[in-house]
Amino acid sequence: MKAKELRDLTVEELLKKKKSFKEEMFNLRFQHSTAQLENTARMRLLKRDVAKVETVLREKGQKLS
């Protein structure tokens, strides 16, 4: 997801996105540990997406939790 797209979202939507990214990351880590993960690059992209969301939240002056 591009940062420009994230900047157009509200704070509540950003927090929901962050939560969904974190949940997906958890599921991918679980699949990775059981050797069922096929696309390992997705984990890296999710980490970057979470960082982008946190950056936009910080720009908007909101807490990250």
In order of start, what are the domains of the chain with their CATH numbers? 3-59 (1.10.287)
Locate 39 and state its tokens.
Answer: 């696309």
User: How high is the mean pLDDT of the chain?
Assistant: 92
Locate 56 and state its tokens.
Answer: 């936009």
The model's pTM: 0.85
Confidence of residue 43 (pLDDT cuts 50, 70, 90): very high
Section 44-54 average pLDDT: 96
Residue 61 is predicted with a pLDDT of 84
Section 47-63 average pLDDT: 90
Section 25-48 average pLDDT: 95
Q: Helix count (H) and strand count (E) of the chain?
A: 3, 0
Residue 65 is predicted with a pLDDT of 56
What distance in Å separates the CA atoms of residue 64 and residue 44, rounded to the nearest whole number? 20
